[in-house]
Every structure is written in structure tokens, then in C-alpha cells.
Amino acid sequence: MQAPLKIKVVTFDLDNTLWDVEPALLRAEDAQRQWLLNNRPGTMENYEHDALWEFKKSVWRRHPHLTHQISKLRIQLLFELQLAAGYAEDQARQGAEAAFTVFLEQRHAVVLYEEALGVLECLAADYTLGALTNGNADIYKTDAAEYFDFAFLAEEIGVSKPAPDMFHAALERAGVLPGEIVHVGDNPEHDIAGARAVGMRTIWMNARAASWPGGERADREICNLAQLPQAISSITDQ
Ligand SMILES: [Mg+2]
């Protein structure tokens, strides 16, 4: 059997791969809500959780072209919520941008897994590192920024993982063969199936000890980033 190609590049999903995203998302939603309560009274007060969810779904349905543009979609939602509350269009437009800004500030304030920085520093000495996210997190706003050579967001590329576009962008940027990249991510479909479909090697980051949902498994599985360097070298050494 032909030996596997040597891994030269490691690409990472971000949310729930390098950090737990839930605390940052909750803080971000809170900050956005607080901004609206303070600056656009009447916008949020009348919505129970379910009613807000229905409103969100109606925005998604009416703007299918924003499916992969999650920031624009959120701004549209904020805009329409204020219009529905009776604010004028320019006020609603301005309020949507301002509320989104406070949301994003907290969304970017993620706390990396404890072992992440040490592992990334060690990997960056041997591999090119890249980030591929469907979310609106920015690796360059975290303490891990210095270890990353490139980062692509679904909203820049125009389509989310598992579509091949973001993986192709990484291949082009890194200038390597698919078999020379290993992609690390927590989502079996977006990360593992998506990366495998373009010929990359894959590592499932399963920090929550989930069971594999079925289908072809990743090349390796880890439950803590500390296991990653060994998992990557074992792919090449097999
Ligand atoms: Mg993820």
C-alpha cells in the first residue's frame, strides 16, 4: 500500500473545536438585547422566546440569499425588529448596526480551551495552520492569532462547510495537495464529511464525548486538543 502523504497543513474549525462557543454566544445575545432595551425601547419587550424564534424564521425565509451570510442575516433581523416596533427606517438601520457591533464584540471574546495555546504553538513550529469557520468568530481577535497563517469565513467565501469551497480556498492558499492537509473539527457533517470529500485527512474533535452519528469515521478522534500532535503524526506514520 502506498504510504500516506506527509501532513504539511492543519486546518481548524473554530467553534467547539478551539473553544466552547456557548458562553460567548450567550454573552453576545445578552449584550445585544441590553443595547436594544436601552436604546430602542419597545423592540424586544413584547417577544417571548417562541415569538422571537418565529420572527427570526420569517426573516430567514424571506432572505434565503443570506443563508451563508450570518452577520448580514442578524443585522437584517435587528433592522426588521425595530421596524416592527415602529422605528423609522434610518433609525432602525443605524440601530441594527449598533446592536450588531455590541453582539460581535462579545462573540469575539471567546475563551480558548486551556490546552489550546500550548498545542497551537507546538504545531505551528511544524505545520502551516489555517482556520475555516461557518461562524462569525475571528481567530485573529484571539490569543491564538500569531499561530495562524490564514483564515476563511463562510460569509467571505459565500457558502458554508460542508460545501467544498472553503476547503478549496485553503488548498489554494496553502499550495499543497489535499492529502497533505488534515482538517480538525467537531461537526461530523460540516468538518469531517466535508473535508474528506475533497480528499483531506480528518480528525474529529469530540470534546463533548458524543457518539459518532454514523457514516464513515474520521481518520482519528480526539476528545482534548492535547491529543492532537500525536494524532497528526500517527496519520503519517501509519
Ligand atoms: Mg464547530
131-185 pLDDT, tens digit per residue, is 999 988 899 999 999 999 999 999 899 899 999 999 999 999 999 999 999 999 9
Q: Compute, in angstroms, the gap from residue 16 CA to the centroid of ligand 1.
A: 5
Prediction pTM value: 0.91
Cα–Cα distance between 142 and 126 in angstroms, integer? 21
How far does the centroid of ligand 1 lie from the alpha carbon of residue 79, in Å?
A: 28
Q: Express as a percent the part of the chain with pLDDT over 70.
A: 99
Q: What pLDDT is stored for residue 22 in this prediction?
A: 95
Sequence-ordered list of residues with C-beta below 8 angstroms from that of 161, at least 6 positions apart, any chain: 13, 132, 134, 154, 167, 185, 187, 190, 191, 194
Higher pLDDT, 238 or 4: 4
Q: Could you give the residue range(s) of every CATH 3.40.50.1000 domain in the chain?
A: 9-20+111-237
Mean pLDDT, the chain, integer: 95
Distance 158 CA to ligand 1 centre (A): 18
Residues 6+ apart with CB under 8 A from 143: 112, 117
CATH number assigned to the domain covering 23-107: 1.20.120.1600
Q: What is the mean pLDDT of residues 74-86?
A: 97
The CATH fold assigned to 9-20+111-237 is Rossmann fold (3.40.50)
